Structure 1
Amino acid sequence: MARPLIVIDPEPRGLGEIFDRDARSLLETLGELAIHDGPGRMPAEPFESLLPEMELLIGQSDMPKARLDRAPKLRAIINVETNFLQNVDYETCFERGIHVLAPGSAFARPVAEMTLGLAIDLCRGVTAADRAMRAGKEKWLLAGAEGCFSLYGAGVGLIGFGDLARAFIPLLQPFGCAVKAYDPWISDHFMAGFGVMPASLEEVLSTSRVIVIFAAVTSENQGFLGRREFELIKPGSVVLLMSRAGVVDFPEFLAQVENGRFRAATDVFPVEPAPADDPARKVEDLVLSPHRAGAMTDSLLEIGRQTVADTGLILRGLPPLSCRRAQRETVQRSRSKPIERR
């Protein structure tokens, strides 16, 4: 009996980035592997030749209806870049029962950990004090803590309540923070189950002292945080941009920080890598992180672990459990961008 054909075309990931020896060995027991490990995606001719027998695709290869029609055995597409790109005919997949999956929660804990670190940094002025001291302009003791506050008991507001926010909630528990969250795609009942108070965007912005932006970019929310929204934030607050730069008016975000309305940190930028003359590099009260919050070796290996786990279930005729599934109601609104290698 022929073993199922698993096509692996992981660009922009490298095979060794996401599969350690154990995961690779387990994957090899599940089927016959047809692997293209870059550079770039698998060329069209060999990829097309694999379609008739392909049962599972690991990667973000283009899968329009014409290709799906030539892949009658296909059961699942797992995008190991962890985005839902607009290069798949999702409707055909839904009609045929083809799972389209993304192991995005692999980054949730590392990003949550980094978010907590940056929040404490901004609340206590750690980076600002370091910069001042290196320049010989520091202030000592209480004078050096002007404008700082403790995270303990501070009101925290979350914009977006996906995997990242849900991983962040447990880290806040020791601090006794009252947490409010805004996410139009999540029910109040679901948020309340995490001990979070559902709130409007305006309420989150105007009543929280620490605001974390976890929202993903969709066709409906690009740049939805602009001057009007930023001016609702209480002066002296802290803002962390941890998801995608596309959800904010980035020049206005920089202007508000530069004008002293709030201190901020960002792990993401409109263009990545940020150019050498990016104005963000010159904003004093902005802590910069070069999109490294989730960039941990173990995070990438977790992508592989989740992929192999769900592959095993799917090939046994069972539903996937580890990866996030594309949903008919929302996936067409996604505006995720693929990673660019430079």
Structure 2
Amino acid sequence: MAELNILCAVAPDLRRQFFGVDPDLRGLGGVRLLDDPARLVAAGLAGIDVLITSWATPQLNARLIAEADALRLVMHTGASVKPIVSGALFDRGVQVSQAGQGMARSVAEVALTFTLMLLHQVPRFDRALRSGATWDQAEHAPPRHELAGCRVGVLGASRTGRAYLALVRALGADVAVSDPTLSAADAEALGVTLLGVDDLLHRSQIVALHAPVLRETRHLIGARELALMPDGGALVNTARSWLTDEAALLAELRSGRLSAGLDVFDIEPLPVDAELRSLPNVVLTPHQAAGTVEGRLRQGSIVLDEIERFRTGHPLEHEVTRKSLRWMG
């Protein structure tokens, strides 16, 4: 089997997280390292068979791949390749794959953490005790609930959505899913109830967002949808802020009727004076749900496994086609 020429356009810190200290990539071929992916230029792709990309990689448009005379595979270390790929790649017959499956468990566990914290009013208790409230003052909170028997709604049966619903089902939650691509048979196999968006919102104590970023999902959850959620309900978003009307969500949170666990925001970094930071019914993380040690290593392993499949002529397990790109986040 011919040796591959591989360009690993991943910053050093991320590269170590994905592949460990040794960047030889299992001896899959001759490896060249580009420490600053944003500085990728057309000349740098000449003679390269496989390009490993990361979040900072510029779009691989016709101009950038003009000299990529040997390029046959773009292997993305993250999930969504939408900011990176272009029709020019597919026109040239270049295959594309990604390592998003490696992030699913990490993000699902953060969504589960948010779910448990919100059900048990942990953000309110923590904020009260840290702010200097008396013990008696800190004890006061809305009713608390257990996850067992709780009605949980999942919007989007993505990789992460499925990982999350498996976790909450294992702890006894009553789970419903809304996803236009999911069949009744799929839902039955997953052990969940298939509902429309409105019905799911109306019946769910917790609503977890795991839908892709599409034109149709822009502000999937707005003022009308939030109003359908029951008093005391909670929204969990570890996907994209694209899915929510942040102003409408802020209004509901400000009123205290709903609570939320958020890893993603319209403006990132989240401004220091953002009102979300001051609300007692919100738990926040800085878009780091996927960043576990184990998750990063899984991503790296998927990258190397896919390159090995490519090198040996086997089908890719995580290939992104022109058609499937339409449904990706």
State whether TM-score is above 0.5: yes
State the SS of the aligned residue for 1:166: helix
2: CA distance, partners of 1:146 / 1:249: 25
Q: CA 1:193–1:247 in structure 2 vs 1: closer, same or farther (change >3 Å)?
A: same
What corresponds to 2:19 in structure 1? 19
- Post-superposition CA distance 1:235-286 (Å, at most 9, x none): 1112211111111000111111111221211111111111111121122211
Measured in 1, the distance between the counterparts of 2:67 and 2:40 equals 17
Indicate which of 28, 31, 34 corresponds to 2:32: 34
Distance (Å, rounded) in 1 between the aligned partners of 2:110 and 2:327: 28
Contact 2:123 / 2:282 at 8 angstroms: preserved in 1? Answer: no
Report the number of matched residues.
Answer: 325
State which of 210, 217, 227 in structure 1 corresponds to 2:213. 217
Aligned letter for 1:75? Answer: R
TM-aligned CA distance change 1:13 to 1:77, over 3 Å: farther
**What's the CA shift for 1:121?**
1.1
CA–CA distance in structure 1, aligned partners of residues 227 and 38 of structure 2:
45
Give the match's secondary structure for 2:60: coil
Distance 1:240 1:32, change over 3 A: same
In the alignment, which residue of structure 2 is the partner of 1:64? 61
Could you tell me how far 1:43 is from its partner in structure 2? Answer: 4.1
Match of 1:246 in 2: 242
| 2:322 aligned partner, one-letter code | R
C-alpha distance in structure 1 between counterparts of 2:203 and 2:12, whole Å: 40
In structure 2, the CA distance between the partners of 1:182 and 1:2, relative to structure 1 (3 Å rule), is closer
8 Å contact from structure 2 (residues 41, 64) kept in 1: no
Q: Is the 8 A contact 2:157 2:210 kept in 1?
A: yes
In the alignment, the residues of structure 1 paired with residue 43 and residue 33 of structure 2 have an alpha-carbon distance, to the nearest angstrom, of 11
1:298 and 1:330 map into 2 onto residues whose CA distance is: 27
Query: 2:7·2:31 contact (CA, 8 Å) conserved in 1?
Result: yes
- 1:14 aligned partner, one-letter code: L
How far apart, CA to CA, are the structure 2 residues paired with 1:149 and 1:2?
59
Query: Which one of 119, 126, 135 corresponds to residue 122 of structure 2?
Result: 126
Q: What amino acid does structure 1 have at the position aligned with 2:268? A: E
CA distance in structure 2 between the partners assigned to 1:281 and 1:251 by the alignment: 14
- Please give the residue correspondences for 1:140-151 in structure 2 after superposition, counting only pairs within 5 Å: 144=140, 146-151=142-147
Q: Give the equivalent residue in structure 2 for 1:199.
A: 195
Write out per-residue CA displacement over residues 73-115 of structure 1, whole angstroms, 9 at most, x where no aligned residue: 332111223321244224652x555321110121111111122
Q: 1:152 to 1:234 in 2, by over 3 A?
A: same
Note if contact 1:129-1:138 (Cα within 8 Å) is conserved in structure 2: no
5+ long unaligned stretches in structure 1: 337-342
Alignment of 1:55 with 2:67, yes or no, is no
Residues 77 and 98 of structure 1 are in contact (CA less than 8 Å); yes or no, is this contact kept in structure 2? yes
Alignment check: 8 A CA contact 1:9 1:61 kept: no
Over 3 Å counting, the alpha-carbon distance change for 1:145 and 1:87 in structure 2 is: closer
The amino acid across from 1:57 in the alignment is: L
The amino acid of 1:55's aligned partner reads D
Question: Aligned partners of 1:276 and 1:113: how far apart in 2?
Answer: 26
1:174-219 deviations in whole A, cap 9, x for unaligned? Answer: 4322211112233333233211211100011001111111122222
Change (3 A) 1:318 1:174: closer
Give the RMSD, CA atoms, in angstroms.
Answer: 2.5
Q: CA, structure 1 residues 199+13, in 2 after alignment: closer, same or farther (shift >3 Å)?
A: farther
Match for residue 97 of structure 2? 101
TM-score by length of 2: 0.89
In structure 1, how many angstroms separate the alpha carbons of the residues matched to 2:64 and 2:266?
33
| Pair 1:117 & 2:113 matched | yes
> SS where residue 65 of structure 1 aligns?
coil
Secondary structure, aligned partner of 2:190: coil
- Find the aligned partners of 1:187 and 1:329 in 2 and give their Cα distance: 19
- Return the offset for 1:229: 0.3
Going from structure 1 to structure 2, the CA distance change for 1:182 and 1:11 (only over 3 Å counts) comes to farther
Where does residue 74 of structure 2 map in the other structure? 77
Amino acid at match of 2:31: L
Between the aligned partners of 1:193 and 1:228, the Cα distance in structure 2 is 31
Q: Percent identical across equivalent pairs?
A: 26
Structure 2 residue runs of 5 or longer lacking an equivalent are none
Instruction: Rate the CA distance shift 1:260–1:155 in 2: closer, same or farther, 3 A.
Output: same
Q: Is the 8 A contact 2:209 2:238 kept in 1?
A: yes
1:193 is paired with a residue whose SS is helix
